[in-house]
Structure 1
Amino acid sequence: MKITFLIHNVYGIGGTIRTTLNLAAELADRHEVTVVSMLRHRSYPRFAVDPRVTVVPLVDLRADAADASDPQLHQPAEVFPTAEKRYKQYSRLTDRRAREYLRSCDADVIIGTRPGVNVYLARFAPPRALRIAQEHLTHDTHTKKLRAQLAGQYRDLDAVVTTTEADAAVYRTRMRLPGVRILAIPNSVPDPGPLPADGGARVIAAAGRLVRAKRFDLLIEAFTDIAAKHPDWSLRIYGAGADKDRLQGLIEEQGLGDRAALMGAVSPIEDEFAKASIVASASDAESFGMTLVEAMRCGKPVVATDCPLGPAEIINDGVDGRLVPMGDRQALAVALCDLIADEPARHRLGEAARAAAGRFDPAPVAHAYEELFGDLAATRSARAWQRRKARWRGRAGRALRHLRR
């Protein structure tokens, strides 16, 4: 089987890139796999790409590339949805390249990995290919305008796959898509292998984009309380983003000195998690929670806010980690202090976390996708009939409303 992934920019760093490459590598054991990158801004991907996986860039943004002189590169996109967060990075050239590639694509399955790219998938993919849209964000994080734009396009897909069951339930309720399977399949995170012998330093680690929704400010404030009680512990935050200067100012304002440090973006992050004793997340929103799983695979207990929608589907509170109320500085500090003071509990939860995280191994995740491919192929005719009936009813309803007026 030929499987193609469509991704925003495989040459960057991010959870969607990493989980896509994890899944592509696992599927490459049994299938011919291609990753199509809408954009390219550097010579080589930052993450390792399995040599069996073919990478195809569509628009080259490097200064010395031929695409730099194409006038369509500087013309706004007409197909990519205007309400999509990445809209300004897309152009008429991206529209054209996506259309040309997809219309000639001979893949059996094509998987999109973000909303705007999924619109390309719905508009241009050949009808004989199974068209699957992954949602690495959540329904409710999309604006009302974007949801309306997606609803009209997603009706032509075969499936929409979310990373959590909670988000799949929201899609089923709020975005009616007759004939389209809506289901949850989690992201995959491979086993990092043997852990370093010096793991378990008196360090709390955290990682993610330095943006306000991740609430690293709350974590820093909670650590201020911890530092007063446990002066031999430190906080390390890994990542890059627009909130860096504000967070650095908060560290200085709280008088934490070198006790709390912004470490910059690091990949792979597991090497740093393995050196810590606890991993923390204070986020207000998670579509899944890749860093939580990455920490658990390293055998580290995670203290995370119980935010929508991912952490509660990853962490079993008190068994393989801790969940605390969202936005509660005191609860976050108390949970972290409890683990700092109780080394046996840290080890017990860490061992349970490592075992529980096995369900996110690429093998079972890839198997779930292969089962989906088979199901979609077997039900293609029945689902097409559901779509046609829904369209006829829609037209009849509109005609009736017009007559009543």
Structure 2
Amino acid sequence: MTQRDIFFVANEVNELGGVGRWQIQLATLLAGRGHRVTVVGIAPPHHPMDLGERPPFETVTLYARRPPSRPRPRRLVGRIDPAVRRHEAHMRQAAERLTALFRAARPGAVIVVPQVWAMEWVALADTAGHRVIGMTHESFDTCRKTSRFQRVKKYYQDVDRLLALTQEDADRWVGEGMNNVGFMPNPLPIPPGTPSPRSEKVVASIGRLSHEKGVDMLLDAWAEVAPQQPGWTLRIYGRGEAEAELRQRCAELGLEDSVDFAGQTDDVPGALRASSVFVQSSRGEGFPLVLLEAMACGVPCVAFDCAPGVREIVTHEEDGLLARPGNTSELARHLVRLMSDEQLRDAFGERALSNVRRFDPDAITRRWEELFDFLER
């Protein structure tokens, strides 16, 4: 195995959330296999994750404060607009630090860019002949609804590989004329361990309280579930900008006795093992880590089939149940079915615990190393 210098260049080094957790996990896995890993953030995190006292990789952040958004050039002035020129000069100055890092690396280094905003700085740097791998950590359909879509096509068109999270999403990018596309699933964030006894009358939801995560739709579904399953609690873990609105919605629906807003948790496996069913009601997803974590805890999942990554993880009617996106009545029916049938919960939970092992971190890490070797040929 070739030991390499590997750079992750992302929006932040340790931002709380799926991409941040994925980045820290993969950097740690690769460092554990002897690679020299550096994690570079463009800006400081809004909500930092704890890296521990001595992470096995170096960290660098280019800006002390988050840089302002790129100004739109005034129509008659265009690129000679002084505000645009100042912004680009600051970007080039920050990109020079990337250039210095890349030039100091050993031959065969790899630069992994998991977020397209960060790629704007990598595009200004001298990558010193090293291979560059771009990534999109959301589904094709989710990306297409945002400004990131055109930026992915612009900034990733000439990288050595653009990685989606699933084959289905990769095929969609090929359809957009991207001829450098592959796919790579996320590794399992926690090892499969002692499963939940699935005896507590608790349905768990874990995620940021934001519009994208669809907890408003979950409350609508729970309004149908709660009268049919007295004694059960919907326990919602997370914080976010929609919390006050969601609490108000919960009260309007008369659900305060059966819904527990439990706040942020630092013990996701513990929260999952204290539940019997996990529910995800997102409007959009990439390759959701929390579904992997729930299955690793032997907890059957009910989710909206909102992205290829969701149905790649959960197999409908085998280890969980999938509802059509946004169909809250169908989500409610799936929840009631699992909540009312202990044998079905146990069967799905045990199969989930077994099936999720295909995302074993060592296996995914080896796939990354095989990709590095392939690109070097």
Task: Give the TM-score taking structure 2 as reference length.
Answer: 0.86
Partner of 2:349: 350
> In 2, Cα distance between the equivalents of 1:198 and 1:348?
12
Map 1:161-176 onto structure 2 (within 5 A). Answer: 161-176=163-178
Aligned to 1:396: none
Residue equivalent to 1:137: 138
Long gaps (5+) in structure 1: 62-72, 80-89, 379-405
- Equivalent residues of 1:110, 1:130 under 8 A apart: yes
Pick from 2, 6, 9: which aligns with 1:6? 9
Partner of 2:306: 307
Aligned to 2:116: 115
CA distance in 1, matches of 2:89, 2:164: 29
Aligned counterpart in structure 1 of residue 28 of structure 2, from 5, 25, 43 = 25
CA contact (8 A) 1:122 1:154 kept: no
Q: Is the 8 A contact 1:11 1:42 kept in 2?
A: no
- What CA deviation, in whole Å up to 9, does each residue of 1:34-72 have, x standing for no partner? 1112222589743548732222222223xxxxxxxxxxx
User: Paired residue for 1:329?
Assistant: 328
Change over 3 Å in CA distance of 1:265–1:297 after alignment to 2: same
- Counterpart amino acid of residue 39 in structure 1: A
CA–CA distance in structure 2, aligned partners of residues 158 and 219 of structure 1: 41
| Structure 1 residues 131 and 336: CA distance shift in structure 2, 3 A | same
Verify the 8 A CA contact 1:75 1:92 in the aligned structure 2: no
Tell me what 1:60 maps to: 64
Report the Cα distance in structure 2 between the residues aligned to 1:54 and 1:249, rounded to whole angstroms. 44
Alpha-carbon distance in 2 for matches of 1:35, 1:74 = 19
CA distance in 1, matches of 2:43, 2:177: 29
In the alignment, which residue of structure 1 is the partner of 2:280? 281
Aligned 8 A contact 1:19 1:189 in 2: no
Partner SS for 1:347: helix
TM-score by length of 1: 0.80
What secondary structure, in the 3-state scheme, does the structure 2 residue paired with 1:280 have?
strand
Q: What is the CA-CA distance between 1:173 and the residue it aligns to?
A: 0.8
Name the structure 2 match of 1:100.
97
Q: Deviation string for 1:110-129 (max 9, x for gaps)?
A: 10111111232233142421
Equivalences for residues 197-346 of structure 1 within 5 A: 200-346=199-345
Shift of the alpha carbon at 1:249? 0.9
- Shift in Å at residue 29 of structure 1? 2.0
Q: 1:247-291 deviations in whole A, cap 9, x for unaligned?
A: 111110111124112222223422211211000012222122221
Aligned to 1:35: 39
Q: Is the 8 A contact 2:189 2:292 kept in 1?
A: no
Offset at 1:135? 0.8
Farther-moved stretch of structure 1 (138-147 vs 24-33): 138-147
Structure 1 pair 41–162 and aligned structure 2 pair: CA distance change class (3 A): closer
Check whether the contact 2:237–2:264 (CA below 8 A) recurs between aligned residues.
yes
* Structure 1 range deviating more: 264-273 or 326-335: 264-273
Aligned-residue CA RMSD in angstroms? 2.6
1:15 maps to which residue?
A: 18
Identity of aligned residues (%): 29
SS across alignment from 1:151: helix
Aligned residues: 354
- Show structure 2 runs of 5+ residues with no match: 73-86
Take 2:241 and 2:88, find their aligned partners in 1: how far apart are those partners?
A: 24
